[in-house]
Structure 1
Amino acid sequence: MRRTDRLFELIQILRDGRLHRGKDLAERLEISLRTLYRDMDTLIASGIPVEGERGLGYMMTAPITLPPLNLTLTELEALHLGLAVVTKAADPELQRAAKTLSDKVDAVLPEDRAAPATGWGFAVYPFAEAARGFVHMAPLRAAIRSRRKVDITYAAPDEPETRRRVRPLQMEYWGRVWTLTSWCELRNDFRVFRVDRIRTLDVSFETFEEEPGKTLGDYLAQMD
């Protein structure tokens, strides 16, 4: 498993707000305890709201959002798409401007969420990697609003691509990386997909109604 994938998996595990021992996390990810400690140091240095220390355990202390800016998901999408484009530009001045804009976003976070010099979440995932998923953002938003099922081809780490039909429920932002929370009809369970790992996406004409056990509320209750 690539390091960026491990970091994403760690965030998914820690988002339940519970205390997790380093040993248990390392066994779950099938890595050494030393590697786990390095990964946790990276998450903490990147501004992810995680507290803990070696020998005791780790836990996430706050949801990963940008509440003081009052940005909508669409506005966040536009912001990061723009930064992704600018950081690939040949003009060094524009590249510096993208960096200072990232710093300004960090500066307006609440005091207990202030990012270190490495930037809030920006040290974890490169823009080029996250930008691959932007093409799917608009159709996913539309499918969530209209409650239409979508067919995706998904490339999970170290696994062959799978074709799935899912009920899209919610998109979330994790510091450059966007995820889709959904009900997966292939697995008959909730699944969270990294949007940048969706290779193809087709919005079907089939709609879905809320069913007990398959709603966003059920998923959030399960996480609690």
Structure 2
Amino acid sequence: MRVLVVEDDPVAADAHALYVSRVPGFAVAGVAHSRAEAGRVLERSGVDLILLDLYLPDGHGLSLVRALRAAGHTTDVFAVTSARDLAVVREGVSLGVVQHVLKPFTFPTLRDRLQRYARFRMTTTSAGAEAGSQAEVDRALATLRAPGRVTLPKGLSAATLESVTSTLRTAPEEGLTASAAAERVGVNRITARRYLEYLVGTGQAERTPQYGQVGRPELYYRWQG
């Protein structure tokens, strides 16, 4: 499936596009940094899904969805935003937004939702697809609406992982040490290092030793996505 990434922050746009490209069955159809640019991409490219930031420099993301619906386009939309306003969520649902993904998010979070969306599409668009009962309708919707939890190693929490991930994504180019990450997140160094090593193990961060004049090298962690 072809995905259009619409995100005004170039760093986030690149990360989201990379995430999409790493999920089997999905490909990036284009990257747009504004509503107008997204409109131009949609005019010339076939797109199955839009990964849409809601706060764009030339208008709200939902205004793009309204325009698409008014023109008869039925392209599905994942809203990607840091906003927690449930009124916006409700409005998005009324326009056919199929998922709301809160920033910052990790690759496993988006991968899970994309895979569920793919299963939903397969179930509902296959030739002759027809529900034989209310239970089948409920199961189809549950596939889309109830994302499975990403299982974390014992002792790690999703909330702290999101905080460490956000901190690492906005770190300087040279990266952060575990001590620096701990100070920014508000945890101890050992805890920060556990989360950083988890991100290294899942391919979302890299670990690089930097050698000083004496003693053991200091480990720096950089976001990879």
TM-score by length of 1: 0.28
In terms of Rg, which structure is larger?
A: 2
Higher relative contact order (CA 8 A, sep 6+): 1
